[in-house]
A and B are shown apart, each in its own frame.
Chain A
Amino acid sequence: MNGQARAPGRDFPSDGPPAPHRLAAALPLLLVLALALALPLAATLTPPTAADRVERIARGVRCPVCEGESVAESDSQAALRIRAEIASEVAAGWTDEAIVRRLAAEYGDWILLTPPRRGPAAIAWLVPALALLAGLAALSLWLRRRARSASALLPPPASGGAAEGQEAPTAEGDVPARPLPARLRDFI
């Protein structure tokens, strides 16, 4: 902060908001931050193994004899057996979908912790998406209705400041420079 820049800055600047190139001064700092973040993130990357695939599939399969646990979490005999089945299928080169299909065929859809994407159970997937769309639709409808009722109440936006503020701009973008009120300066 040099004095020259500050002297007019004490008043309301007539040169308007800072130019974008002045904002760019913060960019190197943020780039350093990005790098500082990227390094630990990159350090965490390790390629998944077959065991990780088994774990991931097992997280989506309900333990048949427990309450609210997947076979990945439970140590019950049934869960251990299903995990072993999944492991041998992964080792035999089955795809994730094939394994999940086999489990659903054997135990019923009930065993899956994610509902199937077909049939009536797919509603479980549709409803959250519909909720978001409904929310967005309601918001935009509401905004539009508000905008209509507002246009009657409100002066056009460009002159809004002039209507409410006491000091009307004498020309476009030309506001008489005024010292910052003492009251605010002391408060800041």
Chain B
Amino acid sequence: MALWALAGELSVWLVAAATAASLFANAVGAHRSGAALDRLLSLGRGAATAAFLGAVLASGLLLLALVSDRFQFAYVAGHSSRTTPFVYKIGAFWGGQEGSLLLWLLLATFFTAWLALRPPRDRDARPLLPWALSALSATSLFFALVLAFAAPPFRLLPEAPPDGLGLNSLLRDPSMLLHPLALYTGFVGFSVPFAFAVAGLLSGQTGPAWVRVTRRWGLFAWAALSLGILMGANWSYHVLGWGGYWAFDPVENAALLPWLTGTAYLHTSVVQEKRGLLKAWNAALVAATYLLTILGTFLTRSGIVTSVHSFAQSPIGAWFLAYLGLAAAGLVLLLSARREALRDERPLETYVSKEGSFLLNNVVFLSLAFTVLFGTLLPLVSPIWGPTVTVGEPYFTRTTGPLFAVLFALMGVGPLLAWRRASWREIRAHLAVPALATFALAAFLAAAGVRQPGAFLGFTLAFFAIAAVLFDVALAVRARAELTGEGLVAAAIGLFARHPRRYGGYLVHVAVGLVAIGVVGSLNFARSATVALPLGGTAEVAGYSFQFDGMSRDPTPYGLRTVARVDVFRDGRLVRTLLPGQMLPADAQAQMGPTAEIAIARGFTRDLYVVLAGYDDGLSTAGFRIYVNPLVDWIWAGGALLILASLYSLWPRAREREADQAARALAAWAELEYDFRAGKIARPDYLALRAEYEKLAEAAIRAAGGRPEAARAVGWRLGRPEEPAGGGEELEPPGPGR
């Protein structure tokens, strides 16, 4: 056992040493060129691979200890037990602090090794790579050192206890197997765009290259983080038994904060990529997102802010605080040192443009992030000016609600704006259609008796955002049909197939609108009752009557389960039978009391949600908490659409896989044609932008002409069968008048 622990500790040290080697090899390599650079890069590749293998070894050893019940390991004794079901012995790997930090390290070294071994094909990325790899290695090194000194996962107890404490019974749920994986993938994933941003700053190459190279990473991290947040909300909903899914608990906020800044970054990074604007802003945003992922881990794992989710307190707080301080100071210095290089390539012409609307949405996103951060830290900062203030869900709902409303209004207007300069006259004409439909919905809601201003605004603005996107897609489909002569259906398919970035993004907007409708509905119209019922007794909630019809005890290998039978009637008709229960775990977790096993009958308009809160020894009287939660399923449906749409946007396509500049310029040009034909942009601005894209595409094709393979690839992609095979002909600028 001692040998096992030693092997584990050594593998953590191996990771530390290898990440340090990778950091230095790449940092030195960034200053070299030619054969010296190649040598250093290959040294860095070896080190990054070794670091990943070390992390795999450490994780494997811990996992093996967990599944084989080696309770002499303090971590195993603290987070697993003989009666913990097998899958949750695996889940215990990230059920505690040391394990979750090890998971972080595993993911970070994996991403670093991935980038070292499969560098981006984009030529612009090459000078950035050594810098980016050293920045990534620095993060891994920090986590390896924390694991080595402050949170050792392989600590041995002097004597093996007969059984472990078991995994916290609230975590014994399938969604807890995947939620931490998704969340950490998102957290760690954002360190890749961050590392390339730092690389851009360090090397002085602050152009759009780092944004373009990491676009897919950023979107991938965002999708993973969204999935993690949604799964966490779903877990909270069906495990914690308070009838809700989001309480602005510090741990939830820790995940929400980088999501907010990351979403802001996804929008403005497009501005830098397409228009060469907002360089300093994007670098700062992605740095803030990275720091917030570290801060989130610090907040939740140090126990500095109390939360239902912080299961442990430990000395890692000081480490995180020191690293955060150093990293933040370093980034501020770096940003100010590169002030000159961060000047934009061209001015922002008007705020009435897509760029302008993105800037506004960033102000709102950052205000949201600031409000959430401020509320989370209030117990720490409020003693500065008065009594300690701690705020909960109602405070966050009231302060973030109006900001979210502004955001949804912007989501409705944004898609109708063109790049560079939108025309007011056309915006008004375009807004009229979705706005009219929205007024129709508002009138209907008012007639149906929605009086709460929050619910009224929430529903209408969410619908407005959806309607605007659908309207814009309809306009683009018609424009495409006119351009290509296709039928409307073929044009719609072609539109989505050819422009996955823009229209994948719009699908995400629709998904977010659906989530918002679910949130607004359940927040405003949830109905509940807490009742004690004798056998046969009924309780009325929101038109449903819940009848307590029996109770049984059911011993299982993992604990004693008590199940109540509740029949739900509506208008005298049986609609559902629900079986809420309680589970008393067989292991030491029993000290924490039984865990509620909630019964939920999910539905399109409402969920019936029953918690067995308590019962008498004769099983003849039971206490229930009953909720009728409207529209909650819309959140999960919208969430699923959000993830699918992100994946569709991410799906590798031959056209983009080449990271080809000509293809990018032509795609932007095609979108411009749709916008112009849809009337979103005035003619002079259209002509100026078109000339820009034409020039870009030509330059790229000309450049590709120098390399036969690339030229063939471009020629194939542009598919010009009528052209003779001669390469020179193909490079002529298009159109007459040149």
Measured CB to CB, the residues of A under 8 A from B are: 1, 5-6, 9-10, 13, 16-18, 20, 23-24, 26-27, 29-31, 33-35, 37-38, 40-46, 48-49, 51-52, 55, 59-60, 62, 66-70, 72-73, 75, 83, 109-110, 113-115, 119-121, 123-125, 127-128, 131-132, 135-136, 138-139, 143, 146-147, 149-150, 153-154, 157-167, 169, 173, 175, 178-188
Within the complex, the shortest CB–CB distance from A6 to chain B, in Å, comes to: 6
Contacts of A38 in B (CB 8 A): 441, 444-445, 448
- 16 residue pairs of the A-B complex, CB under 8 angstroms, read A1-B481, A5-B482, A26-B474, A27-B437, A34-B444, A42-B445, A46-B628, A51-B529, A113-B392, A128-B367, A153-B347, A162-B687, A165-B690, A166-B691, A184-B666, A187-B718
A30 near B444 with CB under 8 A, answer no
- In the docked arrangement, what's the CA distance between A124 and B395, Å? 9
- In the docked arrangement, what's the CA distance between A69 and B393, Å? 10
Contacts of B394 in A (CB 8 A): 59-60, 113-114
- In the docked arrangement, what's the CA distance between A186 and B692, Å? 19
A183 near B666 with CB under 8 A, answer yes
A40 near B631 with CB under 8 A, answer yes
- In the docked arrangement, what's the CA distance between A160 and B378, Å? 50
B434 near A30 with CB under 8 A, answer yes
B250 near A68 with CB under 8 A, answer yes
Can you name 5 extra interface pairs (CB under 8 A) apart from A23-B430, A34-B441, A186-B719?
Answer: A44-B606, A124-B375, A157-B349, A166-B691, A187-B666
- In the docked arrangement, what's the CA distance between A147 and B478, Å? 36
B525 near A110 with CB under 8 A, answer no
Contacts of B437 in A (CB 8 A): 27, 30-31, 33-34
The residues in B between 47 and 103 inclusive whose CB is less than 8 angstroms from any CB of A are: none
Within the complex, the shortest CB–CB distance from B544 to chain A, in Å, comes to: 10
Within the complex, the shortest CB–CB distance from A134 to chain B, in Å, comes to: 9
From DSSP, what is the main secondary structure of chain B's interface residues? helix
| A128 partner, pick from B242, B370, B450, beta carbons under 8 A | B370
Q: Which of B346, B399, B449, B459 has the most CB of A within 10 A?
A: B399
Task: State whether the Cβ of B332 lies closer than 8 Å to any Cβ in chain A.
Answer: no
A27 near B436 with CB under 8 A, answer yes
Task: State whether the Cβ of B387 lies closer than 8 Å to any Cβ in chain A.
Answer: yes
Known interface pairs A34-B463, A51-B529, A51-B530; A146-B429 also in contact (CB < 8 Å): no
Closest to B400 in A: A128
- In the docked arrangement, what's the CA distance between A174 and B20, Å? 64
Closest to B277 in A: A146
Known interface pairs A26-B474, A44-B521, A131-B371; A139-B363 also in contact (CB < 8 Å): yes
A114 near B527 with CB under 8 A, answer no
| A67 partner, pick from B308, B388, B444, B737, beta carbons under 8 A | B308
Task: State whether the Cβ of B734 lies closer than 8 Å to any Cβ in chain A.
Answer: yes
B351 near A115 with CB under 8 A, answer no
Q: 10 shortest A-B CB distances, which residue pairs?
A: A17-B679, A113-B392, A150-B347, A120-B386, A44-B630, A181-B734, A161-B684, A30-B437, A161-B687, A165-B691
A132 near B718 with CB under 8 A, answer no
Contacts of A180 in B (CB 8 A): 483, 673
B interface, size bucket: 35 or more
A184 near B669 with CB under 8 A, answer yes
- In the docked arrangement, what's the CA distance between A49 and B690, Å? 61
The residues in B between 411 and 453 inclusive whose CB is less than 8 angstroms from any CB of A are: 421, 426, 429-430, 432-434, 436-438, 440-441, 444-445, 448-450
> Digit string of B686-702 for contact with A (CB within 8 Å is 1, else 0)?
11101110100100000
> Digit string of B704-731 for contact with A (CB within 8 Å is 1, else 0)?
0000000000000111101000000000
Contacts of B307 in A (CB 8 A): 67-68
B470 near A30 with CB under 8 A, answer yes
Within the complex, the shortest CB–CB distance from A113 to chain B, in Å, comes to: 3
Stretch from B25-33, B145-153, B177-185, B484-492 that touches the partner: B484-492
A1 near B488 with CB under 8 A, answer yes
Within the complex, the shortest CB–CB distance from A175 to chain B, in Å, comes to: 6
Contacts of A44 in B (CB 8 A): 521, 525, 605-606, 630-631
B720 near A186 with CB under 8 A, answer yes
| A42 partner, pick from B403, B444, B517, beta carbons under 8 A | B444
Contacts of A182 in B (CB 8 A): 720, 722, 734
Task: State whether the Cβ of B588 lies closer than 8 Å to any Cβ in chain A.
Answer: no
The residues in B between 336 and 366 inclusive whose CB is less than 8 angstroms from any CB of A are: 346-351, 356, 359-360, 363-364, 366
A147 near B347 with CB under 8 A, answer yes
Within the complex, the shortest CB–CB distance from B425 to chain A, in Å, comes to: 9
- In the docked arrangement, what's the CA distance between A120 and B680, Å? 49
B429 near A23 with CB under 8 A, answer yes
Closest to A66 in B: B308
Within the complex, the shortest CB–CB distance from A152 to chain B, in Å, comes to: 9
B480 near A188 with CB under 8 A, answer yes
Closest to A147 in B: B347
Known interface pairs A1-B487, A113-B391, A164-B692; A30-B467 also in contact (CB < 8 Å): yes
| B485 partner, pick from A10, A27, A52, A166, beta carbons under 8 A | A10
The residues in B between 574 and 603 inclusive whose CB is less than 8 angstroms from any CB of A are: none
A183 near B395 with CB under 8 A, answer no
| B441 partner, pick from A5, A37, A45, A178, beta carbons under 8 A | A37
Task: State whether the Cβ of B557 lies closer than 8 Å to any Cβ in chain A.
Answer: no
Task: State whether the Cβ of B390 lies closer than 8 Å to any Cβ in chain A.
Answer: yes
Task: State whether the Cβ of B528 lies closer than 8 Å to any Cβ in chain A.
Answer: yes
Known interface pairs A128-B370, A178-B735; A41-B448 also in contact (CB < 8 Å): yes
Task: State whether the Cβ of B36 lies closer than 8 Å to any Cβ in chain A.
Answer: no
| A24 partner, pick from B348, B349, B433, B459, beta carbons under 8 A | B433
A175 near B683 with CB under 8 A, answer yes
Contacts of B670 in A (CB 8 A): 184, 187-188
Within the complex, the shortest CB–CB distance from B168 to chain A, in Å, comes to: 14
Closest to B735 in A: A181
> Digit string of B626-641 for contact with A (CB within 8 Å is 1, else 0)?
0010110000000000
The residues in B between 612 and 637 inclusive whose CB is less than 8 angstroms from any CB of A are: 613-614, 628, 630-631
| B363 partner, pick from A67, A132, A146, A173, beta carbons under 8 A | A132
Q: Which of B527, B663, B667, B678 has the most CB of A within 10 A?
A: B527
Known interface pairs A125-B399, A157-B349; A52-B382 also in contact (CB < 8 Å): no
- In the docked arrangement, what's the CA distance between A173 and B423, Å? 15
| A160 partner, pick from B429, B438, B684, beta carbons under 8 A | B684
| A17 partner, pick from B356, B370, B542, B676, beta carbons under 8 A | B676
Closest to B440 in A: A34
Task: State whether the Cβ of B124 lies closer than 8 Å to any Cβ in chain A.
Answer: no
Contacts of A123 in B (CB 8 A): 382, 385-386
Known interface pairs A10-B485, A34-B438, A38-B445; A161-B685 also in contact (CB < 8 Å): yes
Contacts of A13 in B (CB 8 A): 677
Contacts of B517 in A (CB 8 A): 37, 41
Known interface pairs A5-B482, A121-B382; A110-B474 also in contact (CB < 8 Å): no
Closest to A87 in B: B530
Task: State whether the Cβ of B502 lies closer than 8 Å to any Cβ in chain A.
Answer: no
- In the docked arrangement, what's the CA distance between A51 and B243, Å? 14
B351 near A9 with CB under 8 A, answer no
Known interface pairs A128-B399, A132-B367, A154-B347; A160-B685 also in contact (CB < 8 Å): yes
| B498 partner, pick from A6, A131, A188, beta carbons under 8 A | A188
Known interface pairs A30-B434, A55-B528; A70-B684 also in contact (CB < 8 Å): no
A17 near B367 with CB under 8 A, answer no
- In the docked arrangement, what's the CA distance between A146 and B329, Å? 27
- In the docked arrangement, what's the CA distance between A33 and B247, Å? 31
A128 near B430 with CB under 8 A, answer no
Task: State whether the Cβ of B398 lies closer than 8 Å to any Cβ in chain A.
Answer: yes
Contacts of A135 in B (CB 8 A): 363-364, 366-367
